[in-house]
Amino acid sequence: MTLRSGACAVAIVVAAALAGCASQAVVEPTVRTSEPRPVDPRQDLVNVQYLRDSGPALLVAVRINDRQLSVVNAVLAQAPKKASRERGGDVVTFTALSGNQPVGSVTVADQIINVQENKGIVLTPDRTIHAAIPIARRADAIEVRVSATGTTARLPIPDEVYRVCEAAPNDPLCARPPR
C-alpha cells in the first residue's frame, strides 16, 4: 500500500464516519417570527382594496337530486361584490330572504350537463351547486330556482350559520328578521 492510496483510504473512512454521524443527529427545528404589531387599517392597502371590493355574503352549497333540493352547507363570509352574469344555458338562481323580503340574489351556471369519457354528453341529475349570495342583512331562508327542471324551493337556513353572531349581536347580519 502506498502513501497516496493509504491517505485516500483514511480520507474515505473519515468522510463516511462524518456523514454517518451527521445523518443520525437529532436537531430540533426552531421557528422565530417577528412580534405582531398593529397596522393602521387605512395604510393596509391590501385590506382596504379587499374590503372595498367585497361584502358580506351567504355561501351556500345546495344538493339538487332531480327535483329534490336541500342545503348541504351554509356559512357567512366576505365575498366579491361583483355579481355573476351567466348567459345562456341552464342556471340556478339563489335569492336570500329575510321574512319574505329579498336581501340578496345571485345566478350561477347549472352543471347538469357533463361530458364523460367513452360516454359523451350525459345529464347529471344528482349534483351540488355552490353560490355566494351577497346579503344586506340576516336571511332566514333561500329560494332556489333551477331552470333545467323548473323546480323552485324555499329552503331554511340552519341557525348554526349565525353562531358567529354571539360575538356581535348588534351587527345588521345578526338581527333576526321579523316573523
Would you say residue 3 has pLDDT above 50?
no
- Specify the pLDDT at position 1: 52
- Specify the pLDDT at position 101: 92
The residue among 159 and 101 whose pLDDT is bigger is 101
Confidence band, pLDDT 50/70/90 cuts, at residue 26: confident
pLDDT tens-digit series, residues 125-153: 899 999 999 998 889 999 999 998 999 99
Phi/psi class of residue 164: alpha, beta or left (left: φ > 0; alpha: ψ in -120 to 50)? alpha
Query: Among the residues of the chain, which ranges form H helices?
Result: 3-24, 45-53
User: What's the mean pLDDT in 58-82?
Assistant: 90
> Which cell is 145 given?
330556482
Q: To the nearest whole number, what is the mean pLDDT of the chain?
A: 82
pLDDT tens-digit series, residues 39-69: 887 788 888 888 788 888 999 999 999 889 9
On whether the CB atoms of residues 90 and 101 are closer than 8 A, the answer is no
> Which cell is 146 given?
333551477
Confidence band, pLDDT 50/70/90 cuts, at residue 30: confident
Does the pTM surpass 0.75? The reply is no
- Specify the pLDDT at position 71: 93
d(CA 98, CA 103): 6
